[in-house]
């Protein structure tokens, strides 16, 4: 499955636009991660726990989007957009959504 953020694929011709393909992932952060992330914010540095959670959520969202496009009969997804959000009062949940246009290319 070809996946791109661009509206076309170099060297390929879009022969059919199938429709929207999307995937979402919501991952909860736990109290221990929150505590160590806060400590890192105070003393500086990166929060490896949150970075890993975001990578995992992104991977899940892209996988779901790809599986949906395959069920629709697509062999590529163009115009992919990834959105990141926190859900909950103190950002207790991390959400990643992946959206693109499922197409058939030759």
pLDDT at 24: 97
Residue ranges and CATH numbers for the domains of the chain are 2-105 (3.30.110.70)
What's the whole-model pTM score? 0.82
pLDDT at 45: 60
Q: For 55, how many CA atoms within 13 A lie in the half-sphere containing its CB? A: 6
* Better pLDDT: 91 or 67: 67
Alpha carbon of residue 46 to chain centroid: 21
pLDDT at 91: 58
- Please check the confidence at residue 43 and state whether its pLDDT lies above 60: no
- Please check the confidence at residue 94 and state whether its pLDDT lies above 90: no
Give the whole-angstrom CA distance, residue 45 versus residue 39: 9
Q: Dihedrals φ, ψ of 48, to 5°?
A: -60, -35
pLDDT at 22: 98
pLDDT at 32: 47
């Amino acid at each position: 499955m070809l996946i791109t953020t661009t509206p076309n694929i170099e060297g390929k011709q879009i022969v059919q636009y199938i429709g929207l393909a999307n995937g979402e992932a919501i991952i909860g952060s736990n109290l221990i991660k929150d505590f160590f992330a806060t400590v890192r914010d105070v003393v500086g540095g990166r929060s490896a726990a949150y970075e890993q959670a975001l990578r995992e959520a992104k991977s899940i969202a892209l996988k779901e989007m790809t599986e949906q496009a395959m069920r629709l009969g697509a062999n590529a997804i163009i115009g992919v957009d990834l959105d990141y959000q926190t859900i909950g009062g103190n950002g207790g949940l991390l959400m990643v959504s992946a959206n693109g246009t499922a197409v058939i290319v030759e």
